[in-house]
């Protein structure tokens, strides 16, 4: 695991000829108290680890960045009790911002990076030409970690850019008016600065998972940077379980689940709506 310097600010400005004292005496400028996060970076398409990706706390050049090893893993210190973004870059990958609220507890963070050669044609497939003075935004609606939620629409406040474009199997599909079961959508060429992603979920509410709280109901806030892909995730209420499903006799719960008679209960194909 390697750590590299992020930005030109060395955080201390001490003369190299002076005695800087012991290493653990270094104070990260005005970053305040920090906590260690463990980060794993993987390729968005293949899921393979991305080696030599640099992960930095965006806007805090006085904090050292982390550089991923061959397992795609690194660690870095982030300010506690703060809304922040991690900026992740790697050769041939699109610069990416992910959005969090840090507390004082260590955290494991997974970041998926898309290759520029993949993202550019995906956006172009819906007629959007990337503008380097704007940012790109991908939003996810999930019922749980990694569980995309179908039927959720989104808008931006303030409105800007092009979209939303919802995806089917992670490919933009202009015929969709809400998320498919991958839960993913994108906005192209969004104005830089603060923006709210407002979710419309027919099943109930949505709340930030990887995003900042917003005063607007069913919304999250984030920051858009020119030339970057910003990714946000909301946890949204899933459809209610159909109360009409036959749960079986009341005493079925006392049976040995490990020796279930296949003839007595044909599970059939899994119901994707459950």
pLDDT at 274 over 90: no
Give all domains of the chain, ordered by start, each with its CATH number: 1-9+32-113 (2.60.40.10), 115-241 (2.60.40.10)
Q: What pLDDT, on the 0 to 100 scale, is given for residue 61?
A: 95
Q: What pLDDT, on the 0 to 100 scale, is given for residue 41?
A: 98
The pTM is what?
Answer: 0.77
H helices of the chain, in order, are 116-124
Q: What pLDDT, on the 0 to 100 scale, is given for residue 262?
A: 40
Span of 195-204, 208-217, 243-252 with lowest mean pLDDT: 243-252
Residues 243, 246, 252, 255, CA torsion sign: negative
Q: What pLDDT, on the 0 to 100 scale, is given for residue 10?
A: 38
Average of pLDDT values for 248-257?
A: 44
Q: What pLDDT, on the 0 to 100 scale, is given for residue 9?
A: 37
- The tens digit of pLDDT for each residue in 85-141 reads 999 999 999 999 999 999 999 999 999 999 999 998 888 889 999 999 999 999 999
User: With contact defined as beta carbons under 8 Å apart, do 107 and 80 qualify?
Assistant: no
Q: What pLDDT, on the 0 to 100 scale, is given for residue 30?
A: 62
pLDDT at 255 over 50: no
pLDDT at 6 over 70: no
Alpha-carbon gap, residue 257 to 95, rounded angstroms: 48
Alpha-carbon gap, residue 95 to 92, rounded angstroms: 9
């Amino acid at each position: 695991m390697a750590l590299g310097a992020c930005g030109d600010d060395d955080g201390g400005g001490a003369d190299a000829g002076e005695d800087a004292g012991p290493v653990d005496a270094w104070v990260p400028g005005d970053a305040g108290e920090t906590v260690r996060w463990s980060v794993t970076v993987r390729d968005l398409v293949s899921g393979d680890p991305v080696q030599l990706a640099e992960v930095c706390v965006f806007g805090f050049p006085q904090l050292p960045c982390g550089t991923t090893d061959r397992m795609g893993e690194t660690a870095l210190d982030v300010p506690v009790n703060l809304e922040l973004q991690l900026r992740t870059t790697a050769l041939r990958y699109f610069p990416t911002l992910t959005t969090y609220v840090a507390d004082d507890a260590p955290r494991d963070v997974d970041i998926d990076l898309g290759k520029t050669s993949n993202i550019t044609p995906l956006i172009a497939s819906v007629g959007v030409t990337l503008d380097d003075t704007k940012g790109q935004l991908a939003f996810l609606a999930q019922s749980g970690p990694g569980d995309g939620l179908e039927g959720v629409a989104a808008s931006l406040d303030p409105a800007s850019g092009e979209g939303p474009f919802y995806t089917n199997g992670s490919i933009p599909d202009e015929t969709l008016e809400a998320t498919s079961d991958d839960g993913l959508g994108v906005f192209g060429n969004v104005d830089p600065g603060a923006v709210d992603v407002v979710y419309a979920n027919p099943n109930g509410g949505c709340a930030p998972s990887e995003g900042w709280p917003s005063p607007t109901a069913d919304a999250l806030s984030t920051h858009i940077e020119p030339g970057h892909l910003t990714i946000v995730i909301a946890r949204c209420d899933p459809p209610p379980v159909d109360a009409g499903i036959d749960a079986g006799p009341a005493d079925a719960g006392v049976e040995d689940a490990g020796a279930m008679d296949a003839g007595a209960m044909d599970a059939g194909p899994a119901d994707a709506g459950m």
